[in-house]
Structures are given as structure tokens and as C-alpha cells.
Amino acid sequence: MELEVRHLRALCAIADTGSLHRAARQLGVAQPSLSTQLRRIEQELGGALFVRARTGCRPTPLGRLVLSRARPLVADMRALVAEARAAAVGGAELRVGSTASKALAGWLRRLRGHGQDPTLHMNVSPNALLRMVADGQLDVAFVHEVEGCPLRIPPELRLRVLMEREPQFVSLPTDHPAAVKSEVRLRDLAEDRWMVDPTVDGEWDAVQRMFRAAGVNPHVLHGDYYTADALVATGEVVAVCQPTHADSPTMAVRRLHGDPLGVRLLLAARTETVLDGVYPALEEAYWEAARQAPAYREWLEHDGERQPPVPVLP
């Protein structure tokens, strides 16, 4: 058997997911078929590439060696195919990945205004988006890195830091007693139900650390943040939110006392050229969103000196 790119892609999927079952689902094949393929690859290379255990699969020393050579080859092949397709249709498609952000709409609008044709791939996992950029499936990704939970940044990527530390705020019902304050202490919310999305890389760990540091142990529900917004509006929960989140008639966005939770905002691409082409539009869109969020605007005016210089908020 001769090794092909599809075999290398399968090895990368197994390593990335840590499971034959999840890798098979990602590749769109049956697990028995993937298991058979892996055995044939190992026979061809002369040794086991993964240690199989009840907790999943992890690379052997030989597996790590093979993966170190396979990943660049898979990424180059994906990039070749993507560039060839773009050249064939004569378009200027820009494949954008992002975690949720209020800056997205303005960023995409500006990119279109500059003659680019962005497509958008959303994912709650910054690590997954970074891997997609490294593999050539995306051209650029706008992601956040939760404080205390470093992202797995592929070494071939180039980065721009939009915000070194963006404080995370809290959303609560407008009739909540704490909503009358501009700054809320965690102890004021200790008896509330919180909603946290555990699928966001690092989010749950960071929120747990925040609770422990404040000496509170509130009841926590798990769910996505779209659901959280709906439940906050009906008075069911409170939730961590981005500072660019705006107030509404049923929801108040407030600063947490001491800014105990923060994220770093990053833009990633494979080349500096791509970053140069899209970063200014993202920066403009972000500060546009900041101007439209009263609580964040106030934070920037009073505490923004701790950040790198930012545009004046008129």
C-alpha cells in the first residue's frame, strides 16, 4: 500500500480528536473502516502510531514523528486546492472564521466594501478555528483566548493582537436588584442561577476559578449563549457576556467588580500579507461596536489606560 494524502488526513483527524469514533465522524466514514485503514497504515510504516485506551487514542513516539511531517503536507494540499479553486473562478473569496463577536457584522461589511468576498464559518472553539487556518480550510480567524487557558496555536500561524485583555461583563435581568449599579460584585449574584457554555475552550474552567476566588458557589446551568440571552431576559439566569453586548429593555449589561475574567482577542492567518489586508477593517469594526455599548464605553474611558492606546470614543 502506498501512503496517500487521505491517509495522512486520517492520522491528523485521529490525533486532533483523540478518538477513532470522533475522527470517523469528522471524516464522514464508518469507524470500522477507519480502524482498518489505520492498521494498514501502521503495517506500511512498520509500527504503532497510536496507543489505544479506554480514554481515547494518543500518538506513540513514531506517531508524533509521522504527524510532524504529515500536518504540513495536509495543510499544503488543502491550501493548493483552495487557491486553485479561487483562481479557477477568478474570485477574491476570503474564508473567514470567528467565534461570536459583535464586531463581525461591521467587519464583513467593511471587507465587502474593500472589494473582498468574505464567507463566514462560526465555531465556539477557537482551537478548532486555528487548526482550520493552519490546515488551509480558512484564510483568517478572529478568536478569543480565555485568560488562564492558553490556546493551542499552530506554529505556522501569524497573529495580531486586537485586545491584550478584554474584560468580560455580566448580563442580568433589568429588574435584578444589582442592575441599579454600574458595577456588580460576584457576591451580589451568588444566589442566582448562572448559565455557562462549557463547549467554549477554557470558558468553564475560567468561570470556576472566578467563583472560587470570590468565595461563591452559585448554581450553574450549561447551555449556549443564545439560550442564555433568552433566559436572562425572562429572569431565569445571569451570564458572563462580552463587554460589547448592549443593554436591551429586558437585559442589563454590567461590569464585574475587579474585572475578574478577561480574554485576549487575536486575529490569525498563515501570512502577514493576509493579516495586513483584513486587520484594519476588524479594528474599525471592533471600536464601532465598543462605541455602541454604554457599559464598555464607560470602562474604556475610565480604565482603558491599562490597555494599549485605543481610538478616541467620540
**What is the pTM for the complete model shown?**
0.70
Regions of the chain where pLDDT drops below 50: 88-91, 305-314
CA gap 229, 223 in Å, rounded: 10
Task: Report all structural domains of the chain as residue ranges with CATH numbers, in order of start.
Answer: 5-86 (1.10.10.10), 91-165+263-292 (3.40.190.10), 166-261 (3.40.190.10)
User: What pLDDT score was predicted for residue 292?
Assistant: 92
CA gap 29, 120 in Å, rounded: 26
User: What pLDDT score was predicted for residue 82?
Assistant: 58
299 three-class SS? helix
Q: Do the beta carbons of residue 300 and residue 310 sit within 8 Å?
A: yes
User: What pLDDT score was predicted for residue 313?
Assistant: 36
CA gap 27, 72 in Å, rounded: 18
Helical ranges in the chain per DSSP H: 5-17, 20-27, 31-45, 61-89, 104-113, 126-134, 203-214, 225-233, 272-291, 294-303
User: What pLDDT score was predicted for residue 287?
Assistant: 94
User: What pLDDT score was predicted for residue 125?
Assistant: 93
Using alpha carbons, select from 115, 119, 112 the residue that is nearest to residue 95: 119
CA gap 56, 216 in Å, rounded: 34
User: What pLDDT score was predicted for residue 212?
Assistant: 96
User: What pLDDT score was predicted for residue 74?
Assistant: 85
pLDDT in tens, 51-71: 988 778 899 999 999 999 998
